[in-house]
Amino acid sequence: MGVYTTVNPATGEKVAEFAEVTDGEARTAVDRAGDAYRSWRRTELRERIDVVKRIAELHRAQREELAGLITLEMGKPIAQARAEVELVANIYDYYADHAEEFLADEVLHITGPGTAVVKTEPIGVLIGIMPWNYPYYQVARFAAPNLILGNTILLKHARNCPQSALAIERVFREAGLPEGVYANVFANNEQIAQMIADPRVQGISLTGSERAGSAVGEVAGRQMKKYVLELGGSDAFIVLDDADLDAAAAAAAVGRFANCGQACTASKRFIVLESVYDEFLSKFLEQSRAWVAGDPTSDETKLGPLSSTAARQDLVELIDDAVGRGATVHLGGEIPDSPGAYYPATVLSGVTKEMRAYAEELFGPAAVVHRASSEEEAIAIANDSPFGLAGSVFSRDLERAQRVAGLVETGMVWINSTSKTAPDLPFGGVKASGVGRELAHYGINEFANKKLVRVPEAAN
């Protein structure tokens, strides 16, 4: 039987271990979620709103404890961990505050006699498969709208953040969420596949790698189950020749190195017009040097360790491949001689198509800077990627920036800013970055039955 394990990435120390559920326990979890769905979907909306409001309040009340757990389990600097908890509370508040608006009947203006409305209703038990890089935020994006809607949830979290996963479940219980409406399940992949096949399970949401998304999509497709996949990204950060280079360089460093670069929407490919390339690179290197790795429990630390030594090794292999084929390292690029999964802020240039780092996602504190001879080439480089999640365009000319943004093949784009998230902004991508949308009103409609109720004519 496998295990879910807390290993402190700052020290390498194993802190706690939790056994996988048995096959019988996995089946029981589905049974309870199915039973709970029948009552939760009929629970008054006001009552569901009140529970979700309490979930938000408890996140704020327990901020220090919750933040400390993700710092322990995946190395997020404590200041960034606190910010994640606050963002999560805002997401639960947002769906509670807008529930009546989002779930109101839509009256259709039809040509025939009588009336027609579309009702937004739940569909059943959902499975969430979530990653470690934002342990609370990823769950909130999925759970908040679906709890409000009336679906029930089985949540498989990442193997390296089991205590964070249990903390989420505990907060939900303390908020008054009924038994079976949300359950953490330390399941393995085979058990998840069996759970997806259960007819009571009607949808699956996964945030993770392309490989995991493909596997889940294949299983869900065979079972004709709805799925949302939020996968990787290799976001382009385009710097046009009229950009404010100081602002662009400062934003670039934050966009690349926050959360130790372990974000699907992190800025990863910096595409700079040739006439300002050298100046931008100089300013970016200056900003990047300020991101010094340190103890993630310190309020002063901006760059913590990666989530694990295995994650660091994946990053190192991509960088070593690029350097071995002729790329230039301007900053960082060497594993420090110290305990833990630390890696320095790293900046590369000269990355070409034959190098893995050109097309693969660098999930860590490493940036690739490209030189573009023209605006058209900058757009072409940005689009020469299997991914299409988010991106940025920097220019003092907003009309020009918006035109360029319109030509970038991505689900989200920001002008004169790095990609950020908020409860009222839809989140999702195109191409290998996944399918579906989360957050805003889009998030509550992904796993909803949009039921037409038609009354052709008045009753006699």
Task: Choose, from 73, 230, 361, 438, the residue flagged as catalytic.
Answer: 230
Residues 6+ positions from 427 with CB-CB distance below 8 Å: 141, 230, 411, 412, 421, 437, 438, 439, 443
Residue 18: strand, helix, or coil:
strand
Q: Residue 275 phi/psi, 5° resolution?
A: -65, -20
> Quick one: how many helices (H) and strands (E) in the chain?
15, 20
Residues 6+ positions from 28 with CB-CB distance below 8 Å: none
Task: Choose, from 73, 84, 260, 264, the residue flagged as catalytic.
Answer: 264
Q: Indicate the length of the chain as a whole number.
A: 460
d(CA 440, CA 322): 39
User: Does residue 260 have an active-site annotation?
Assistant: no
The answer to whether residues 294 and 301 touch, using CB atoms and an 8 Å cutoff, is: yes
Nearest partner of 83 among 264, 295, 261, 259, judged by Cα: 259
Enter the tokens of residue 194.
Answer: 């069996």
Enter the tokens of residue 153.
Answer: 């949830």
Residues 6+ positions from 419 with CB-CB distance below 8 Å: 235, 255, 265, 266, 267, 390, 391, 392, 412
Q: Residue 168 phi/psi, 5° resolution?
A: -60, -50
Enter the tokens of residue 160.
Answer: 């390296």
Burial class of residue 1 (count of CB atoms within 10 Å of its CB; 0-12, 13-18, 19+): exposed
Burial class of residue 198 (count of CB atoms within 10 Å of its CB; 0-12, 13-18, 19+): buried
d(CA 144, CA 307): 26
Residue 415: strand, helix, or coil:
strand
CA 297-11-231 angle, 5° bins: 80
Residue 411: strand, helix, or coil:
coil
Residue 34: strand, helix, or coil:
helix
Q: Residue 326 phi/psi, 5° resolution?
A: 115, 0
Single-letter amino acid code for the residue at 294: G
The answer to whether residues 371 and 274 touch, using CB atoms and an 8 Å cutoff, is: yes
Single-letter amino acid code for the residue at 323: V
Which residues participate in catalysis according to the annotation? 230, 264
